Amino acid sequence: MEPTLAMNTLLFLGVAIIMVPLARKFGLSSVIGYIAGGIIIGPYVLRLTGKDVDDIMHASEFGVIMLLFLVGLELEPRKFWEMRKKIVGLGLTQMLLTIALLFLVFMTAGWRLDKAIAIAICFALSSTAIVLQTLQEKNYLKTTAGEASFSTLLFQDIAVIPILAILPIIANYKATHHNNEIQVLIQTLPEWLQAVTVIMGVVLLILLGRYVFVPFLRYVSKSGMTELLTASSLFLVIGVSELMIVIGLSPALGAFLAGVMLANSEFRHELEAQIDPFKGLLLAVFFVSVGSTMNFSVIQQDPLFIFSTVFAVLLIKFIVLFAIGRFFRIDTPQSLFYAFALSQVGEFAFVLINYASSLYLLNPELNAQMMAVTAITMCITPFLLIINDKIITPRFIKDIPDESQDFNILDSNVSQKKIIIVGFGHFGSTVGRLLRANKISATVLDRDSDRVKLLRSYGFKVYYGDATRIPILRAAGIEDAEVLVLCLDDPDDNKFIADIVREHYPKVKIFVRAKNRIDAYGYLNNGINNVYRETLGTAVDMAVDVLHETGMRKYAARRLGQRFMAIDKASIRRLAKTKDNDDEILLFTTKEILQREEELLAYDNINFENKNWEGSSSADEEDEEPN
């Protein structure tokens, strides 16, 4: 019985669940596990998949689109603009040199002119999915090599648009009578307008981002329903992708630009958290489908031709990329990583090779062979990166430094601790304002979209998001954070977040707002020592003012208030360890309150001395907490 689409999807997910942990156990990339699993269940090994494999692969390619959307969210428009020279310089140089050298090799091998140039163009592209997945796994996105790889990939995505226009010209083929899925709105425009389609698409996305996307998300967020935000996130990514296809742009490029437009919005972390699970799932299925489409029958028919082509493509692309890296003053280890990472043929080649076949540039046999070459290069890349990391790179570095030095991580503010503030109401905003006044930045999460909008207009770095969900905390950077400040109004939410952070990220230092003494006991007993009762300070301030109003000197009253707070904080820590701290009445009717009064009376001599002392130069002096 022919497996259904649902059954194939189930097989793909199942083999991913089994193979990826196995690959990681041996220190291999997850991409190797996915592709190996696809090969095992594919039609040439266990033969568990059916005719719907291609459908699954096309659907899972949407994972690449989501990946680029998330990358765009991490890249602010200002940063993107600063990278423009690198994108054009690295990307254009790589494309032109690779096409030229591959064309010469294919012509030397006796290929027809149009066939050689078409395949050279298709093979000049690299795999966005494999490279970005590798960069994320190795945490190399912010390295010099990572930025060079990303810049090159971005230019290649842009280059897909003119390639679709160039291939019919190479084939001398009139597409007016050819009805295929590549035909889009761009082909109906005058030729002088087709050249500026990229600019038109970027302008359109800027307008949509400013006047449609953000107001739309604000409207949805007011419902308070998480599932609607998930639906909205998917709606935006799918909608932008389809719009770009209609216009004639790469859907992956469109998704990336949409992400850049939303990088400065308050919904950045919320969108990351909503999209990331779908991205990971679809990418997993995509990599498995790449392995399952490996055509071993074609390889067996002419293995010498297939593997010699694979070797030539990998070698030429490696030489070009390494030379470009060195020319742009990227050091040797990073240039090696850059060259190995992008030496494969990309997933867009699957589409372009089929398109070239529909234009009669390639016969069916050569089409199958070139598809096999593409798949093999994608499968080999993870192993090349392992060889580079373990064998080649160490030979160029006598004393291998730590990762941050080796790859020159681009962090402009490494000296400041990463701080996350959850909740920016009256309590949290006081903390945030004081930090900001002292030039200390913090990432702030809040669930009130109106408040977020208002605070962002004042220049605060505030994002919309529900911090009780681990994906939101992860998107906000909890893995790299050193300080977490919990200031939510709901004590249950503060406790929940504190618990999950202590469980998953024990190195993060937590500062938490407590409603009352009972809340404070719970935090202290759970190992959280930085507890701040929201009513203590204001209540003591009121008592100090009342004492001053009764005739006591202001310094004496303030001193007494400070002593009271010190003793009260110490007593809270002692009482938290007792078993009877759930009864508020018991706490205030036993000898603890008498002890506190006796300790206060012991410092009465301070008050008498202050009555005869003129001035209050030490009014701001703080007492140490009593033992």
Give me the mean pLDDT over the 198-208 stretch.
76
Buried b (16+ CB within 10 A) or exposed e, 479-514: eebeebbbbbeebebbbebbebbeeebeebebbbbb
- Domains of the chain are 5-175+186-397 (1.20.1530.20), 411-534 (3.40.50.720), 547-627 (no CATH)
Confidence of residue 324 (pLDDT cuts 50, 70, 90): very high
DSSP H helical ranges for 248-267:
251-262
Backbone dihedral angles phi then psi of residue 378, each to the nearest 5 degrees: -65, -35
Q: What is the pLDDT of residue 559?
A: 78
- Please say if the pLDDT value at position 585 is more than 80: no
Mean pLDDT, the chain, whole residue set = 76
Residue 606 has pLDDT above 80, yes or no: no
Percent of the chain with pLDDT over 70: 77
Give residue-wise pLDDT tens across range 250-306: 677 778 778 888 877 878 878 888 887 777 777 777 778 777 777 788 888 899 999
pLDDT band at 1 (very low <50, low <70, confident <90, very high): low
Q: What's the CA gap between 207 and 202, in Å, rounded?
A: 9
Q: What residue has token string 């990939």?
A: 153
pTM beyond 0.85: the answer is no
412-441 pLDDT, tens digit per residue, is 343 467 889 898 877 787 777 777 766 778
CA-closest candidate to residue 525, choices 473, 577, 466: 577
Contact 294, 44 (CB under 8 A): yes
Greater confidence (527 vs 115) lies with: 115
Q: In what order do the strands lie in the sheet with 530-533?
A: 462-464, 443-446, 419-422, 483-486, 509-514, 530-533
Residue 612 is predicted with a pLDDT of 45
- Does 199 have pLDDT greater than 80? no
What average pLDDT score do residues 313-338 get? Answer: 92
Each residue's pLDDT tens digit, 64-110: 777 778 777 877 777 777 788 888 899 999 999 999 999 999 999 98
Tell me the one-letter amino acid at 549.
E
What pLDDT is attached to residue 93? 94
Q: Tokens at residue 281, please?
A: 């799932």
Helix (H, G, I), strand (E, B) or coil at 486: strand
How many angstroms separate the CA atoms of 421 and 485, rounded?
Answer: 5
pLDDT, tens only, 27-66: 677 778 888 888 888 777 787 776 555 656 666 667 777 7
What is the 3-state secondary structure of 561-600? HHHHHHHHHHHHHHHCCCCCCCCHHHHHHCHHHHHHHHHH
Band (pLDDT 50/70/90 cuts) for residue 360 is confident
Q: How far apart are the first and last CA of the chain?
A: 78
Q: Give me the phi and psi of 484, to 5 degrees please.
A: -120, 125
Return the higher-pLDDT residue of 254 and 122. Answer: 122
Q: Residue 443 pairs with which residues in a beta bridge?
A: 420
pLDDT at 183: 44
Which has the higher per-residue pLDDT, 345 or 529? 345
Which of 311-325, 402-416, 450-464, 547-561 ranks highest by mean pLDDT? 311-325
Identify the pLDDT of residue 193.
Answer: 61
Q: Whole-angstrom Cα distance, residue 580 to residue 521? A: 11
pLDDT at position 536 is 65
Per the CB < 8 A criterion, the answer to whether 468 and 404 are in contact is no
User: How is 533-560 classified by DSSP, letter by letter?
Assistant: ETTHHHHHHHHHHHHHHTT--HHHHHHH
Q: Tell me the range of 226-235, 314-323, 519-528, 534-543 where mean pLDDT is highest.
A: 314-323
Among 75, 67, 70, 71, which residue's Cα sits nearest to residue 31? 67
Mean pLDDT along residues 504-520:
82
